Amino acid sequence: MEHLVDWSRAQFALTALYHWLFVPLTLGLSFIVAIMETIYVKTKDEEWKKITKFWMTLFGINFAIGLATGIIMEFEFGTNWSNYSWIVGDIFGAPLAIEGLMAFFMESTFAAVMFFGWDKISKKMHLLSTWLVAIGSNLSALWILLANGWMQHPIGMTFDPDTGRYEMNHFWNIVFNPNGSSKFLHTVGSGYVMGSLFVIGISAWFLIKKRDVLFAKRSIIVAATFGLITSIFLIIAGDDAAHQVALTQPTKLAAMEGVYQGKKDRGLVVIGLLNSNKKIGDNQKEFDWDIKIPGMLSLLAYHNTNAFVPGINDLVYGNLQENIESAQSKINKGKLAIAALREYKQAKKSGNTVEATTALAQFKKYDKDFGYGYLTNPKKVIPPVGLTFYSFHIMVLLGTWFLILFILALYYTMKNKIENKKWLLWAGLLSIPLGYLAGELGWITAEVGRQPWAVQGMLPVAKATSSISTNAVITTFWLFAILFTSLLIAELSIMFKQISLGPKGE
């Protein structure tokens, strides 16, 4: 069973990681293209039309191939995660259905108009189509990320003991879930930054080759401005996302920051090396070395420098002084809830109303910790610390570099000196893969940091899988790995060919 869970997780992670190679560029480039076409319509400058069509072509290549991985990922909820789909499908399925019926059809419909309608409709109607594709792409992300935000902080539902399923009872609670909205804003913000890095990097390549200089400079101005604004937006959204993690996922925050022993006025580790020998509950130091900002973690997490930030030891063993319940206590209550649910079903099946009523009351007393009852080791409530910590901190460092890059690129382009700054041009070009790396690290932080839960505190991953053979999952894992790698190679090949043609190529 353990191997089945591991391979199911690996297959979904593979699909998600490949999918996220395409999605952020779609989110960011769609708005950049819309801005460029707006400038064209306003100025009637044909050079802006060439610029728009060039980046629109690259957007189209990425958009088409990105669809394949996204569709496969949604199918995996039914193939590899059928228990998950059965238990919480009533809630999780609603945002995905809205995404498919509204946002996906909207962006797909107007994408056809955007790509093929240049000489068939008016300029303003074409511009409207371009903006609707951008809005539709981001609305699509909204509903998917609201579903993911619910997995991070489940609200708006009740458990039906007769069916064994969670059922939605407050749709708008799910829509306005603070965790979901902060996740959406932070995730699409990262997509906008990725789109900006892509445009700057490709434009830098043209300047290095001394080709299409006006096209490259204009593209950099739009992308650097958009990137600078969205980087600031990303910092604000990231601060809110971290605050929501602190409120609803303290184990993830502890892993993100390498905090084992909680304390008030907790400092923020800017950079550090974790002590690889550190174990839960021992007295060894947390870091071999680190650089901290005093009190900053308490301030960012709880908006109060005097706030207590719980550590891994507090969350596993409990802290009576800070009113933190131990993981073992929650596991014990969860097992009582499971036993009570079993007794309720047996009593109801045999027609014993009194026993059924008593058992149901017992279940409702402990149902908050129902999911913990499936865990056997209290230390398992803590996600992998090293992977979560380094993923988060490298992502933050890369985000800081991107902000600096946008400022420098905009400044030197406005001063008409960008083509002479070879180091900056190469930095811009090499920052494209760093943008993808930062996005992937963000998702590793979010998803690995949620372990061992498929739905935080409610449904463990081990109880969410399908009853299929491990060999079937292994086989499809390698088939998907080959397929996705082939798609990626195909995209890169087509992209490189189109880039080499430049803005004059069709």
pLDDT digits (tens, 9 = 90+) for 384-428: 999 999 999 999 999 999 999 999 999 999 999 999 999 999 999
Q: How far, in Å, CA of 477 to CA of 337, rounded?
A: 36
Are 324 and 263 spatial neighbours (Cβ–Cβ below 8 Å)? no
Supply the pLDDT for residue 506.
53
Domain boundaries, the chain: 2-249+383-501, 250-382
Supply the pLDDT for residue 244.
92
Residue 412 neighbours by CB distance under 10 Å: 18
Residue owning tokens 């009194």: 354
Pull the structure tokens for residue 267: 């400092």
- At 248, which amino acid appears? T
Q: How far, in Å, CA of 219 to CA of 202, rounded?
A: 9
Burial classification of residue 70, based on how many CB atoms lie within 10 Å of its CB (0-12 exposed, 13-18 middle, 19 or more buried):
buried
End-to-end CA distance of the chain: 53
* CB-based contacts of 245, cutoff 8 Å, min separation 6: 152, 252, 253, 256, 301, 449
Strands of 226-360, DSSP E: 263-264, 268-274, 287-293, 308-309
Supply the pLDDT for residue 79.
87
Pull the structure tokens for residue 394: 């490298």
Element (H, E) at 158: strand 157-160
| Residues pairing with 289 in the sheet | 273
Burial classification of residue 234, based on how many CB atoms lie within 10 Å of its CB (0-12 exposed, 13-18 middle, 19 or more buried):
buried
3 state DSSP class of 298: helix
Residues of the chain predicted below pLDDT 70: 1-2, 505-506
Q: How far, in Å, CA of 64 to CA of 318, rounded?
A: 50
Counting Cα atoms < 13 Å in the Cβ hemisphere of 219 gives 32
Supply the pLDDT for residue 373.
94
Element (H, E) at 233: helix 213-248
Q: How far, in Å, CA of 391 to CA of 395, rounded?
A: 6
Q: How far, in Å, CA of 260 to CA of 273, rounded?
A: 14
Supply the pLDDT for residue 325.
95
